[in-house]
Amino acid sequence: MGTGKRGLLATAVTVVGAVTVLTAPGAAFASARTPTPTPSASASSSASSTPVTNKDLEAVREKLATLYHDAAVATDAYNAAEEKAEKQSAEIVELAGKIVKGQEKLDELKDRAGAAAAAQYRGGGLPDEAHLLLGNDPQDFLDDTGRLLQGQRATKGLLAEMARTQQDLKQYAADASTQWKKLEAGREAKAAAKKKIKKQIAAAEQLESQLEKEEKERLAELEEQAAHQAQTAWLDSGILDEIDATASEQGKQAVEYATAQIGKPYVWGAEGPNSYDCSGLTSQAWASAGRPIPRTSQQQWQQLTRVDVQDMRPGDLIIYFDDASHVGMYLGDGAIVHAPRPGRTVTIAGAGSMPILAVVRPDA
> Pairing relation of β-strands 326-332 and 335-338?
antiparallel
278 catalytic residue (yes or no): yes
Catalytic-labelled residue, pool 69, 131, 228, 338: 338
Q: Does 69 participate in catalysis according to the annotation?
A: no
Neighbours of 147 (CB within 10 A): 12
Q: Which of 69, 131, 228, 278 is catalytic?
A: 278
Give the whole-angstrom CA distance, residue 159 versus residue 112: 10
- Amino acid type, 31: S
Q: How far apart are CA 194 and CA 217, in angstroms?
A: 30
Residue 179 CA to residue 89 CA, distance in Å, equals 8
CA separation for the pair 341, 357 (Å, rounded) = 18
Pairing of strands 356-361, 317-320: antiparallel
Pick left, alpha or beta for residue 293 (phi over 0 → left; psi -120 to 50 → alpha; otherwise beta).
beta
Residue 338 known to be catalytic: yes
Nearest partner of 350 among 364, 324, 332, 325, judged by Cα: 332
DSSP string, 177-198: HHHHHHHHHHHHHHHHHHHHHH
- Which residues have a catalytic role annotated? 278, 326, 338
